[in-house]
Structure 1
Amino acid sequence: MAVNSTLALQQVLLTIARQILKALEANACFIKQRRFEAKDERVSAPNDTAPLVENELFVLSQAWQAVWQFESATRMPLEARPMLRQAIAQNGYYMVSHEQGSSWLSQELQMLRQSGAQCLTVLPLRIGNSKPFGVVDLFHRSQQPAEPLRAEQRGRIRGLAAEIYARLRSLPNAHSTISFQSSERPSPEVFALAQQILAEARADWLVLSLLAEDEQLLRVLQYGTAEFLEPPRPEESFMPAEIVPIFQGQAWVNAHVRQSDLSEPLRDLMASYGAQSMLCLPLIIKGKVGGMFVICDTYEPRLFNADEISLATALIAQAATAIENARLYRDLERSLAHLKQTQASLVQAARLST
């Protein structure tokens, strides 16, 4: 049996993304492929043959293991999610898919569109009859779970989430802050607990948000992985001027939020990732810039050092090789399919002529 090239590429890219996170002590990694139409050549996303637009980016894979401190967490008023408010009041939960069109779900539907997920499970967090302390948004990449979460599953997820908050020094019903030194990073056990939540919910990635006393939802943790090879997910974010030279093979971006000369477009791009620091490196395929890696540190403002950049570049080269090998394998499959079709047509024509 032939190996599924898409499945193999998916595994390679996610493995490389995780290796980068570990080696660079980073918290998010995005693999993006450039799609463009040129005079003599074309670089395309896997399994796609449609006409392409120059410098249009598509997300192939992403990996998160990020925690944000209270002061840098993304905020959203609870009133922007009326269905969540109702679920909190009724101690319930709900699921959202693209087919739903209620105005009460407008924020959740936007989250689905922006993330590329097919389904979202929303579970308010509380322990027993205590006051709710947050919410976990569980994203399903491919399809809606076959069955809803049972009561015992919801209980286990809530317990795991409470333990995560405790480990981040943000206890339920206590003062709503998360504070740790910039040099002090959460232990691996935090992400092991998050992985247990994903396994329990059969989800691909999750976002944990704290419910502050002023009824603001604060994103404090995001964890998990996703691949978007079939089809690749369009990148909705803009491209600051600093990014453009990457696609000309001239530079990379290595920046943090405390730099006084940071342009507003680049600062906005970093804010969209929740990044304190960001490293963008070219993805070079057969000597051409075919995309880029975006690597983020959500904990502290810093510049990635030369050794980290060299290590990331070496891992990115492995990703480029995997993408090119997958393309060659697909081309071979298409050629064989075309050959079989031609042979079948010739046999049919010979039968009709006799």
Structure 2
Amino acid sequence: MIERNILIIAGDYDLIEQINNALAKEASSLSHAFNYRDALYMFRLQRYDMLLIDVRIHSGDEPIYNLIAGLRLVQHIILLDPDGICEDSNFWVLREFDRETVVKTISEVIAMRPSAAKDKQQETNRLVAGRRIEEVEALLALSKSLTEVLDYNVVLQRVVEAARRLTDAEEAMLLLPDEEGSALYLRARAGVDQETAANFRIRTEDSLAGDVFYTGKPALIGAQGPQKLKTEYYVNSLLYVPVLLKGIPIGVLGVNNKQKEDVFDIHHQNLLLDLASYAAIALENARVHEESLLWARELEMLVEASRVVNSNLSLENVLLNICEQFSKILKINWTEILVWEREENSLYTLALHRRANWRFARGPRTKLKAHPGYYESLTSGKPFWASVGQQQPPFGINQGIESFLFLPLQTDGEPLGAIIAYYVNAPTMRPVQGKTITASNLGLQALVDMLATEDQTNVIGRSPQEYAHDIAQILGADWCDLATYHDDQQTLILQASAGTGIWIERRGPALSLAQNNDLTEMLDAQTLIMQRESGSISTPGGLTLLRRAFARSILALPLINRGRTYGMVLFADTRNNRVFLEREIHLGRALAGQASMALENANLVHDLERSLSDLHEAQDRLVQSARLSAMGELAAVVAHQINNPLTTIIVDAELLQQEADPDSLEYASLEAIIRAGKRAASVARRLLSIVRSTDEETPSVPIDVLDTITGVLALVKTHIEHSNIRLVVELPDDPMPPVLAVKGQLEDIWLNLLLNARDALSGQNQAEIGLRAAYLGDSQQIRVDIWDNGPGIPQHLREQIFKPFFTTKPPGEGTGLGLHICTQVVQQVGGSINLEDVAGHGAHFVILLPAVSWSELHGMELV
């Protein structure tokens, strides 16, 4: 009988069965382990006198009998070698497993008694084995703790702390690759100081950690003196092991000693490899868990986004909601929705939403030498308004807006920066001084904080784009920029921009596809374009979009509805050189699909509202036609009622005049009566002309345009100047060819335009009205310009001002017929009247009248 505790370590069930049968009646205690980890666990539970180990079992590349022998836990080890492959002479080897051979071999091994020296060594070995068991227990406890948590960052930190504790190292770190696999970043650390951690980045090429990551094999440095690494510091000993998931490296776990002279050995390597295997599983579990939570959150956000974008059918609100949801879910600071006009081979912006900021002093810039107006405003502290036609906006933003406000920011008289507020449509009323002061104070606070920290967040946690958003709301602007002034370079640099521009009734900024064939291909194929500032792959279209958004990275996705591409959505990150993940791209596509459906619904409603509006306008025109017809009838009655007594007055006055002395006072008075009577008769005729395209009874005669202008000026000049308005008149000294027109009608044009200008300038300081006339010989036309420096006429009203009965004056102060009369008179003459594009800087009317050459008059009398 063999009175011993025997542990059989084998993975071959047949072999185990043979040993069991051989020792069934001989051994007092038999236990089994199937691998190295099972054996370590059994050692923790019980002491064994003998081990029977299958030589075919390995842990990594190492046979486990070598690993177990190194632990020195058991005195007697016999190797089981059924294949006859073991040639190790340091161990007893069994190759036959019948009862007699097995019992005899075990008995012989037991019969060999160790010497006293060996007994002492055995005690030492037992102490070492105790430490090994403690390490195994610690490893098992750590593996259990890793599986208990699913928070990714917590798992990372526990791994490095365990690595440091198991190896008694000064520092431990876990390195994970970036998205492109070109570098390893420090994701968790223990014992590594903050300064070292901040700069810790290792390229996977030509580095020790990179080799471990690529090859999947550990690297051990020890007992060779201090070694300088790629991370620019020295270590006395270092150990890197790969973190493998299903045989694929996902990271590198490392420990090192910089001050301690203790070196790592193969035992530490094996411990760290075991820990790395546990870590890989724990990290994957945590990653899957976090990914599932992320997908759940994203699904919830998609549902919420769908609810928000479909909660309103106003096209403007739908566009704003879509942009805000894109920005919120994808965490981007620039969203642009563009429609595709295939026939014009161009994209046009429908909506542009930005909450953008740039790294300090790295945003778009404007050289002030090329824009002296900005420099003068910055140094003088005086703001100014400008239209796009008068002044080029800074930073190349010159499309889609009508006007902008440049508001300089100073501290102690020194320029600090500027606020630029942009208006898609010129405001009917400019912000009052109190609002510009509030906006300036807010802008100063933002710039002072930025310049103090040279960062994009400040001490109270408020970002520059949040400041810009608040300023835009105060000034009533569509969006607002915050820029800093850099005196050494005479440059204005954009730091933040916030707001939304929407173009519905007219086209927004254009993007030509003529030089960007890849964008056309993307739209046709319904694929995507992704571009980074420092990306390895670049396309002309991608670079164009990158410059368009002043961004460091962009993602462009097609807008698809019912299988047809009708536009594109552009996402941009102005601050980070970002890689859009596959998950984010799928999320963007889902959002784009929702946006397409919401836009289709909103467009249908918008088209319906426009059709209803057109119907109402048509009804109004019918009503106006009826009113004009009624006025015509009334005018005919009034003319008839007035003409009868006027005829009597004029005839009687002419008879009396024939008998009066031409040099007498009575003759002059009768002449005035006749002139006034004829004037009254002409008023009646002009009343009829309002509702008649032509007055067939009144012939056109050659009219001296300058005489009609000077006549009207004589009537209104005093009245205009009494209103504190300066009248600027520029008339040529030389006579101009006449215009064929009905006598008295041209005066109506000048009178109506001058009186409208006077009303627009009511109460304004430094008010000014101008009138200029000139003959254009090349086109044989007379051009008359009448302008003022008032608030101007907003873009959305310009198509309506020439319609009858349309007026912007309060009820009772205007008939709405003045400009309509001007239009009729000009059209009867064969000329044109237009409002020039100077929105926000006064109204400027241009009248072109066809001139008659002197040779064409044929004896006609000039009136």
- TM tier, shorter chain? 0.7 to 0.9
Contact 2:418 2:483 in 1 (8 A): yes
Give 1:200 deviation, angstroms. Answer: 1.7
Give SS of 1:208's match: strand
The TM-score, its normalising length taken from structure 2, stands at 0.33
- The C-alpha deviation readout for 1:210-236, integer Å capped at 9, x for no partner, is 111221111111110011011131414
For residue 163 of structure 1, what is the aligned residue in structure 2? 445
Alignment of 1:216-227 (within 5 A): 216-227=491-502
Q: Does 1:67 align with 2:357?
A: yes
1:198 to 445, 468, 472: 472
The TM-score, its normalising length taken from structure 1, stands at 0.76
Give 1:190 deviation, angstroms. Answer: 3.6
Contact 2:320 2:500 in 1 (8 A): yes
Q: Does 1:274 align with 2:550?
A: yes
Give 1:307 deviation, angstroms. Answer: 2.0
**When the two structures are aligned, how many residues end up with a matched partner?**
306
1:235 to 510, 514, 523: 510
| Larger gyration radius, structure 1 or structure 2 | 2
For residue 295 of structure 1, what is the aligned residue in structure 2? 571
For residue 323 of structure 2, what is the aligned residue in structure 1? 17
- The C-alpha deviation readout for 1:305-351, integer Å capped at 9, x for no partner, is 12212222222122211222234335556777899989xx9xxxxxx
- Label 1:30 to 1:205 Cα distance change in 2 as closer, same or farther (>3 A): same
Contact 2:346 2:512 in 1 (8 A): no
Alignment of 1:244-323 (within 5 A): 244-263=520-539, 266-323=542-599
- Label 1:188 to 1:228 Cα distance change in 2 as closer, same or farther (>3 A): farther
C-alpha distance in 1, partners of 2:374/2:395? 14
Give 1:20 deviation, angstroms. Answer: 1.0
Between 307-316 and 259-268, the greater mean CA deviation after superposition: 259-268
Q: Does 1:35 align with 2:341?
A: yes
Give the partner amino acid of 2:574. T
- Label 1:207 to 1:145 Cα distance change in 2 as closer, same or farther (>3 A): farther
C-alpha distance in 2, partners of 1:110/1:166? 22
Between 257-266 and 72-81, the greater mean CA deviation after superposition: 257-266
Alignment of 1:125-164 (within 5 A): 125-127=409-411, 129-150=412-433, 152-164=434-446
RMSD: 3.2
2:485 to 201, 204, 211: 211
Give the partner amino acid of 1:160. L
Contact 2:318 2:602 in 1 (8 A): no
As a proportion of its length, which structure holds more helix? 2
Give SS of 1:299's match: coil
Unaligned residue ranges in structure 1 (runs of 5+): 1-5, 37-52, 172-176, 346-354
C-alpha distance in 2, partners of 1:180/1:109? 21
Give the partner amino acid of 2:585. I
Contact 1:73 1:220 in 2 (8 A): yes
Give 1:252 deviation, angstroms. Answer: 0.3
Give 1:267 deviation, angstroms. Answer: 2.4
C-alpha distance in 2, partners of 1:338/1:113? 32
Q: Select the structure with the greater relative contact order (CA < 8 A; seq sep ≥ 6).
A: 1
C-alpha distance in 2, partners of 1:137/1:334? 33
Contact 1:209 1:219 in 2 (8 A): yes
Give SS of 1:243's match: helix
- Label 1:334 to 1:272 Cα distance change in 2 as closer, same or farther (>3 A): closer
Give 1:292 deviation, angstroms. Answer: 0.4
Contact 1:204 1:225 in 2 (8 A): yes
2:404 to 99, 110, 120: 120
Q: Which consecutive aligned stretches of 4+ in structure 1 deviate over 4 angstroms post-superposition? A: 109-112, 186-189, 330-342
Give the partner amino acid of 2:323. A
Give 1:35 deviation, angstroms. Answer: 1.8
Give the partner amino acid of 2:451. S
Alignment of 1:174-189 (within 5 A): 178-179=454-455, 189=463
Give 1:11 deviation, angstroms. Answer: 0.7
Unaligned residue ranges in structure 2 (runs of 5+): 1-311, 623-863
- Label 1:64 to 1:281 Cα distance change in 2 as closer, same or farther (>3 A): same
For residue 58 of structure 1, what is the aligned residue in structure 2? 348
